[in-house]
Amino acid sequence: MELQGLRIAITGGTSGLGLALVRELLHRGAHVAFVARTREHVERVAREHPGAFGIVGDVAQKDDIYPIALQITGRLGGLDVLVNNASSLGPTPLARLGDTECEDVELALATNLLGPFRLTKALLGALSASAREGRGAVVLNVSSDAAINAYPSWGAYGASKAALHHMSRIWNEELSAEGVRFLSLDPGDMDTPLHALAVPDADPATLERPETSAREFADAIAAALGDRVAVIEHREHST
Ligand SMILES: NC(=O)c1ccc[n+]([C@@H]2O[C@H](COP(=O)([O-])OP(=O)(O)OC[C@H]3O[C@@H](n4cnc5c(N)ncnc54)[C@H](OP(=O)(O)O)[C@@H]3O)[C@@H](O)[C@H]2O)c1
């Protein structure tokens, strides 16, 4: 299950699951680049994790995508694994669709669907090259059970995650024969800033640690690279 020497990029790598993935993947010997919007946080995480390369960028902004992609491939010398993890909840406090501004839906779609789509497209050449060289290639799109279940007041987020999940399945149908595999995985309810924003009164003791989900995701990446059939699954009872 080691990921020694693999070149892995993670969006949203300064908090919650993304930060736990940066740590887990470094621990397993991967070369890691990560992306987030807040420069101060990117610089802190890079300083605290020698070997991890920080990139300041916003995946929801079209003009940021190629600069992000170029920094990833330039720094890592190619790419074997992309983790589309950065996410927007849409309106907070969460609101019913009738009370949701169109701009909030646009932001959720730009961050959770268009961002991963654009970044994947921008990095597809590097991923395909990795697959052709026999290193394998995986794109892990971070999903949610809100992609499957119709939770009231989770409309913007849920619709964007449902679209991302379905797009992952189509990507996988189109590209797995060429060796580029797509995973769409739900990390479960985790004790993170995003969860606290969505469900402020949740008891953190009932939530998963992001480190646990990061370990499971690292195992899933290793399994997919190990020429196993891509797993597209969801758990119950998570945001
Ligand atoms: N927490 C849960 O219970 C739960 C459950 C199911 C699924 N998920 C999914 O798990 C993933 C991680 O969630 P989390 O709870 O770990 O979130 P989190 O703690 O809020 O961290 C989000 C990270 O993404 C970055 N980010 C946000 N928007 C960005 C953008 N437009 N461009 C680049 N970076 C951006 C943030 O940094 P900046 O703000 O500085 O950009 C931060 O590093 C998400 O896809 C979420 O939907 C979470």
Domain extent listing, the chain: 7-233
pLDDT digits (tens, 9 = 90+) for 206-236: 999 999 999 999 999 999 998 533 333 444 4
pTM for the model stands at 0.96
Q: Find the length of the chain.
A: 239
pLDDT for res 234: 47
Shortest-distance Cα residue to atom 24 of ligand 1 = 12
Distance of CA 85 from the midpoint of ligand 1 (Å): 6
Angle 115-132/155-175 helices, nearest 10 degrees?
Answer: 20
On the question of pLDDT at 2 being above 80, the answer is: no
One DSSP character per residue, 12-43 reads STTSHHHHHHHHHHHHTT-EEEEEES-HHHHH
- C-beta 92 within 6 A of ligand 1: no
Q: Which two tokens stand for residue 13?
A: 């790598």
Residue located nearest, by CA, to atom 20 of ligand 1 = 194
| Angstrom distance (rounded) from CA 16 to CA 1 | 23
In the chain, the amino acid numbered 123 is L
Any ligand 1 atom below 6 A from CB of 64 = no
CA of 24 to the centre of ligand 1 (A): 17
Superfamily of the domain at 7-233: NAD(P)-binding Rossmann-like Domain (3.40.50.720)
User: What pLDDT digit, counting tens, does each position of 132-174 carry?
Assistant: 999 999 999 999 999 999 999 999 999 999 999 999 999 999 9
Using DSSP, state whether 189 is helix, strand or coil: coil
User: 218: closest CA among 166, 140, 136, 133?
Assistant: 140
Q: What is the DSSP letter of 231?
A: P
130-152 core/surface letters (b: 16 or more CB in 10 A; e: else): bbeeebbbbbbbbbbbbbbeeee
Segment holding 182, helix H or strand E: strand 180-185
d(CA 13, CA 11): 6
Is 73 near ligand 1, meaning CB less than 6 Å away?
no
CA of residue 110 relative to chain centroid, distance = 14
> 230 near 176, Cβ under 8 Å?
yes
Query: Residue 235: CB within 6 Å of ligand 1?
Result: no
- Rounded CA gap, 134 and 144, in Å? 31
Tens digit of pLDDT for each residue in 24-80?
Answer: 999 999 999 999 999 999 999 999 999 999 999 999 999 999 999 999 999 999 999
**What's the pLDDT score for residue 183?**
98
Q: What is the pLDDT of residue 226?
A: 86
Give the residue-averaged pLDDT of 2-30.
Answer: 97
Active site residues: 157
**pLDDT 10s digits, 68-83:** 999 999 999 999 999 9
Confidence of residue 97 (pLDDT cuts 50, 70, 90): very high
Report the SS3 class of residue 180: strand
SS3 (DSSP) at 59:
coil
Task: Yes or no: say if 194 and 142 are a contact pair by the CB < 8 Å rule.
Answer: no
Which of 17, 44, 89, 191 is the best mutation target for the ligand 1 pocket, counting ligand atoms within 8 Å of the beta carbon and taking the most? Answer: 17
Q: Is the pLDDT of residue 195 over 90?
A: yes
Q: What is the pLDDT of residue 239?
A: 57
Q: What was the pLDDT predicted at 227?
A: 57
- What is the C-alpha to C-alpha distance for residues 222 and 1, in angstroms, rounded to an integer? 6
